[in-house]
Amino acid sequence: MLPLSSRPPRGYILLAVMLLLAALVLLVALAQQRAGDEGLTANRERSEAQARALAEAGLERTRAYLGELLARDVDLDRALDPGLDTDCLTLPALGGVTWDDHLPPFADSQPVTVSSSGRDYLRVLADEGAEGAYFVRIDDNDDDAQDSMLLSPATSNNPIGNCLEGPVLGPLRDNPVRDRDGMVWVTVIGVHPGTSLEGNDARVTLRVLVGPGEPAGIIAGGTVRMSGAAHVCGPFGDVVATGSVEGGCLCGAACSSGPFWNACVQGEACIAQAGGSMCSATSGRGPGTEVCEAGVSVPPPPRVSAWDVTNAPLDCTGAPCLPFYYLRLDEGAAQARLYGWSYSACHSPRSAPRVCSPADCPTCWVLLDANTQNEPMGISLSHADPGLRNPSPSVTIPGARAPRVWLADGSGGFRSGSGSCDAGDTALYPGTTGFGRRDVRNVWFEYFPESAATPLPRGVWFVEGNVRFRSAGTPSCAALQADPTYSASIIATGSIVHEAGLISLRPASPKGVVLLAGRDLVMRGAQSRVLTCGTSAAVMVHEQVVMGGDSHVEAQLVAENASTCDAEVVGEAVQMSGSATVAVPQFPPVPAGPPLRVRLQSESTH
């Protein structure tokens, strides 16, 4: 028998084995925990990615919806109060709040109230078979404190339920269910894998301020050619063209050739961006200041159509209303006819998909007694006639005692472009022969007042045919100051030719348009000028523009260059020569590119 001191220490060996086993078990557990944590992290990351994708899809869908609203309305009131049925009498509190306020009208959705905030969101589940959902809400950007004439068309334009807007509310009040500047906050929350905002599922929140696109003084769907001493003036004289920008001077003090009215009095820093291979305009501000870039990505110009319903006035529920006139030639009677829109019978002229003519909507138009027995081709109308501003317009100063405004040349029939004319145009047109996409009436309506002191009666004038300014002008901007509310816009289905006379107009169309040509715009002669009296205004042309001599346009110029249906002008989108000048002193009303873009964006995860 071995002595005790030489026996192996079995107890210590057993303890060492047990400790080793415990360590192994701990290592396995730690490895499993780590694997589990990594799995949870991976799952969380996948859920966050899915939540972000859901939020982004909801944002794009909401932006598309808001873009559709802005394509028809001057603001986003209906995005905040879709039914225009909220009571604003007790602001800042709201009465009669309806479930659809601040929510887009998506069919596959459900309104929910978040208990932690009390705010309503619209919940949209992920596509069938997928997990998750997104929640969306639209809020105003507190724009009522802004005091700008640019916002006038969108201020208190939907006063139903005492919903006023603008500075009239006072400095400490804002109307959360009305919009004035076309900008709103969109909040979209993506959730995955659950469908509730109250749980611990992955959440990604996108908060985005969306609003109109960038401005530009000249927007052209093709090349802008400025030869001779042609130039652009004003702080908003940027040029954006999908083609080239050839020649010209941009906004600098040296851009001052021609008569005094064409001089750039104060040098401004303007730029030109061309999608084509050439951009050769100079800045007029000295060496090292040239900013003309070619070969860049330029958005296509906005669609220009006389029949676009957004050219029409807004609804009117009580006098004084903004008249909406329709001028046409009645070939059968050999007589010019003037109609006025009846707000009493049909309310908003924007309710139809396009401008609705008297032939399409006979109950919506009132035939006005604006002819004289001796001049059936003339239209005589008094700017001072109060009956013209009633919801159901009427002539209380008959044509025999009213000054002549328009004179038709009596040309009947219509002309059609070739088979490719406007083949890519997506605008809506009447389907009647002679009024279709390729057709324009032959008649010319000349602005032919008996006196230069006779103003064009206020309102939006829709002319079925062509318009000419050959000899007479309108009262000056100084004369118009006597009536700050005066405004007038002319929209022609055909071409507009301006050969002489000073035309001074403030835009009546809520879009900001003073002149719109459904075909071409031609300005020639030493005195062919269009002034907009310091307002934000646009001249829009469906096809091409030619400006020669000392012609002058004080407005944003938009040339879609959609086709060459009319032979009045062929070639580049904008053709300027002599000392022809486009001056843009105020913020342009028509954005370059999409009507809605992201201005600010923030993101958070949970």
Percent of the chain with pLDDT over 90: 54
Give the number of domains in the chain.
Answer: 1
DSSP summary character for residue 457: P
Q: What is the pLDDT of residue 546?
A: 97
List of residues 6+ apart from 380 with CB closer than 8 A: 370, 371, 372, 399, 400, 402, 403, 404, 405
Give the mean model confidence (pLDDT) for residues 304-318.
93
List of residues 6+ apart from 62 with CB closer than 8 A: 104, 136, 138, 186, 188
Q: For residue range 164-189, what is the model confidence (pLDDT) as tens digits?
A: 888 888 876 788 899 988 889 999 99
In a domain, 120, yes or no: yes
Query: Distances in Å between the alpha carbon of 112 and those of 85, 118, 381?
Result: 20, 10, 56
Q: Which of 282-296, 563-577, 579-593 is least confident?
A: 282-296
In a domain, 534, yes or no: no
In a domain, 74, yes or no: yes
In a domain, 202, yes or no: yes
- The pair of three-digit structure tokens given for residue 606, joined into one six-digit string: 């949970």
Place of tokens 């057709």: 439
List of residues 6+ apart from 254 with CB closer than 8 A: 264, 267, 284, 285, 286
Q: What is the pLDDT of residue 38?
A: 52
Q: For residue range 397-412, what is the model confidence (pLDDT) as tens digits?
A: 987 789 999 999 999 9
Asked if residue 394 has pLDDT above 60, the reply is: yes
In a domain, 167, yes or no: no
d(CA 418, CA 439): 10
C-alpha dihedral, 301 to 302 to 305 to 306, nearest 10°: -110
In a domain, 108, yes or no: yes
* Biggest distance spanned by C-alpha atoms of the chain: 151
In a domain, 237, yes or no: no
Place of tokens 């062509």: 466
In a domain, 592, yes or no: no
- The pair of three-digit structure tokens given for residue 106, joined into one six-digit string: 């998506």
Say how many CA atoms lie within 13 Å of 172 toward its Cβ.
1
Q: What is the pLDDT of residue 2?
A: 47
**pTM of the entire predicted model:** 0.82
246 within 8 A of 225, measured Cβ to Cβ = yes
Rounded to the nearest integer, the mean pLDDT of the chain is 88
Q: Which of 8-12, 56-60, 145-149, 394-398 is least confident?
A: 8-12
Helices (H) and strands (E) in the chain, counts: 4, 34
Domain interval for residue 50: 44-84+99-146+178-211
d(CA 135, CA 189): 5
pLDDT band at 204 (very low <50, low <70, confident <90, very high): very high
Buried b (16+ CB within 10 A) or exposed e, 458-481: bbbbbbbbbbbbeebbbbebeebe
Q: Which ranges in 247-313 belong to alpha helices (H)? A: none
- The pair of three-digit structure tokens given for residue 43, joined into one six-digit string: 């799952």
pLDDT band at 136 (very low <50, low <70, confident <90, very high): very high
Place of tokens 């360590």: 23
Q: Pick the closest to residue 173 from 256, 242, 89, 107 (CA basis).
A: 89
